[in-house]
Amino acid sequence: MVNLQPQLWYDYTYLDNRYDVAPWLLLHAGPYLANAALTGTSRQIGFLAGTEITFIQDRLALQMDYISGHHSLSGATVNLLLNITSRFQMYMGVSVPEQDTANEFAGIVGFNLSTKKL
């Protein structure tokens, strides 16, 4: 009835500012705070940044994001986004670890469902 093991709570708090440079290009960036349970080291403060480049409006885009630091949360992702319908999106890409982390390169495959137009 009682869990004697301490519980780990993951906390990732961030502020992300978006700027639409052109209809086909958006940039975003901001600070983050992540706790030791998530980073694998200690509480970390850093920045995140990224961009999305639209090749075909409402159909095909390239998304790139970066999270600073040298811990298990840090690194970059690059994804190709394909809107199948206005509310269903599939994506695939790669996760690139930051130097001096124990992370590995990884493939990414997923989908997004939305009640609003993507």
Spell 40-76 as b/e; 16+ CB within 10 A means b: eeeebebebebbbebeeeeeebebebbbbbebbbbbe
What number of other Cβ atoms are within 10 A of residue 34's Cβ?
Answer: 25
**pLDDT, tens digit, 9 for 90 and up, residues 49-106:** 999 999 999 999 999 999 999 988 899 999 999 999 999 999 999 999 998 888 889 9
Which residues are bridge partners to 98 per DSSP? Answer: none
Q: List the chain domain ranges.
A: 13-113
pLDDT tens for 33-57 read: 999 988 888 899 999 999 999 999 9
Q: To which residue do tokens 């811990």 refer?
A: 71
The most distant pair of C-alpha atoms in the chain lies apart, rounded to whole Å, by 57
Q: Which two tokens stand for residue 39?
A: 């980073």
